[in-house]
């Protein structure tokens, strides 16, 4: 049954950080109103609710704004700890989860962006090499943190599942557009299983934006950049 909370989410299509928050709202069965933000023409609501960073997502709980996706995820977990708990209970496990989430957002994710926007093949190969190394490290972390379970959170979707899972649509997009497996059967067999389990989870599948949304987002990025190589253009 949906939880009765006064929640609004300010977001934009294709943003992994917004997707992450949507995962948790849905896993916890929280009703909310979605407000679409135009990042090319930022609204008064965004500028006043998140004046320092001016980024989505912003969650409003009883009209109080909260920004930064990881902060929002933890906040939701704190106010509704008994409905689909997200963070592990053990403090050491929590610390490991938070540390890896920090790595994913500040190191690994920027490599994905670097790969996507790299124009010459040398820069692309360099970004690819970094991503492959990062995915190998995430595979090791998965083996350790999942404790034999299907997800990073064990038998249930947990913190790192929503943190990394919000990039699943982008991983798929990379396969289609660039022919590049960010996580790969030969190199990352456990993460490939994890990816399949995530896609077959009803909540996760229902929240990940469509291929079309990723394509439009990518085209918007391209609009600001010099032309892409022909073999990539042909797939767009
Ligand atoms: N660390 C932030 C990142 C949020 C973020 O980068 N949001 C992007 C959309 S994907 C944004 O609002 N960008 C607008 C801008 O940079 O001006 C979080 O986790 O919430």
* Residue 40 pLDDT grade (very low, low, confident, very high; cuts 50, 70, 90): confident
**Banded pLDDT at 143 (limits 50, 70, 90):** very high
Mean pLDDT rounded to a whole number for the chain: 92
Most ligand 1 atoms within 8 A of CB, residue of 11, 17, 104 to mutate: 17
Give the distance (Å) from ligand 1 centre to CA of residue 155: 30
Residues with Cβ within 8 Å of residue 191, at least 6 apart in sequence: 135, 138, 139, 142, 183
- Which of the four pLDDT bands, split at 50, 70 and 90, describes residue 117? confident
At a CB cut-off of 8 Å and minimum separation 6, what does 42 contact?
54
Work out the angle at residue 45's Cα, subtended by the Cα atoms of residues 9 and 220, and round it to the nearest 5 degrees: 75
Task: Evaluate: CB of 37 within 6 angstroms of ligand 1.
Answer: no
Beta bridge mates, 67? 58
Report pLDDT digits (tens) over 61-94. Answer: 999 999 999 999 999 999 999 999 999 999 999 9
pLDDT of residue 142: 98
Reported as a pLDDT band with limits 50, 70 and 90, residue 108 is very high
pLDDT at 230: 57
| Residue 216 CB partners (closer than 8 Å, separation 6+) | 13, 14
Residue 54 CB–ligand 1 contact under 6 Å: yes
Name which residue sits closest to atom 1 of ligand 1, judged by CA: 68
Instruction: Tell me the pLDDT tens digit for each residue of 150-194.
Output: 999 999 999 999 999 999 999 999 999 899 999 999 999 999 999
Examine the pLDDT at 13 and tell me if it is beyond 90.
no
19 lines ligand 1 (CB under 6 A): no
Give residue 200 CA to ligand 1 midpoint distance, Å: 27
The answer to whether 59 and 75 have CB atoms below 8 angstroms apart is yes
Whether 55 lines ligand 1, by a CB cut-off of 6 Å, is yes
Quote the tokens at residue 90.
Answer: 């053990």
Pair 21, 33: CB distance under 8 Å: no
Question: Domains of the chain (ranges plus CATH)?
Answer: 7-79 (3.40.30.10), 91-223 (1.20.1050.10)
Residue found under tokens 């299509």: 13
Residue 4 CA neighbour count, 13 Å, CB half: 0
Residue located nearest, by CA, to atom 15 of ligand 1? 55
Predicted confidence (pLDDT) at residue 18 exceeds the cutoff of 70: yes
CA of 187 to the centre of ligand 1 (A): 30
Q: Which atom of ligand 1 is nearest to the CA of 68?
A: 20
> For 213-236, how does the pLDDT look when each residue is reduced to its tens digit (9 = 90+)?
888 877 777 765 545 555 555 555
Give residue-wise pLDDT tens across range 119-128.
Answer: 889 999 999 9
SS3 86: coil
Nearest ligand 1 atom to the CA of 12 is 9
Q: What is residue 130's predicted lDDT score, i.e. its pLDDT? A: 98
At 3 the three-state DSSP class reads strand
How far is the centre of ligand 1, averaged over its atoms, from the C-alpha of 215 (Å)?
18
- Residue 214 has a pLDDT of 85
String of b and e for 64-77 (b: at least 16 CB within 10 Å)?
ebbbbbbebbbbbb
Which ligand 1 atom sits closest to the C-alpha of 39?
Answer: 14
* pLDDT tier, 4 (very low <50, low <70, confident <90, very high otherwise): low
Q: How far, in Å, are 21, 108, 112, 213 from residue 86 at the CA level?
A: 12, 22, 25, 27
């Amino acid at each position: 049954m949906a939880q009765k909370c006064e929640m609004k989410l300010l977001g934009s299509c294709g943003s992994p950080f917004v997707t992450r928050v949507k995962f948790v709202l849905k896993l916890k069965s929280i009703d909310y109103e979605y407000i679409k933000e135009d990042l090319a023409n930022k609204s008064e609501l965004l500028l006043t609710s998140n004046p320092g960073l001016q980024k989505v997502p912003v969650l409003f709980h009883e009209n109080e704004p909260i920004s930064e996706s990881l902060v929002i995820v933890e906040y939701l977990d704190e106010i509704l700890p008994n409905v689909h708990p997200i963070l592990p209970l053990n403090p050491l496990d929590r610390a490991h989860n938070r540390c890896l989430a920090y790595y994913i957002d500040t190191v690994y994710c920027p490599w994905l962006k670097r790969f996507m926007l790299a124009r010459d093949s040398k820069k692309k190969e360099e970004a690819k090499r970094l991503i492959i190394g990062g995915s190998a490290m995430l595979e090791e972390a998965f083996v350790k943190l999942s404790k034999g379970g299907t997800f990073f959170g064990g038998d249930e979707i947990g913190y790192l599942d929503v943190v990394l899972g919000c990039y699943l649509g982008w991983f798929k997009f990379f396969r289609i557009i660039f022919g590049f497996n960010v996580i790969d059967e030969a190199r990352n067999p456990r993460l490939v299983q994890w990816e399949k389990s995530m896609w077959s989870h009803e909540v996760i599948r229902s929240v990940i934006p469509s291929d079309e949304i990723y394509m439009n987002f990518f085209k918007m990025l391209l609009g600001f950049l010099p032309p892409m190589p022909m073999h990539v253009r042909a797939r767009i």
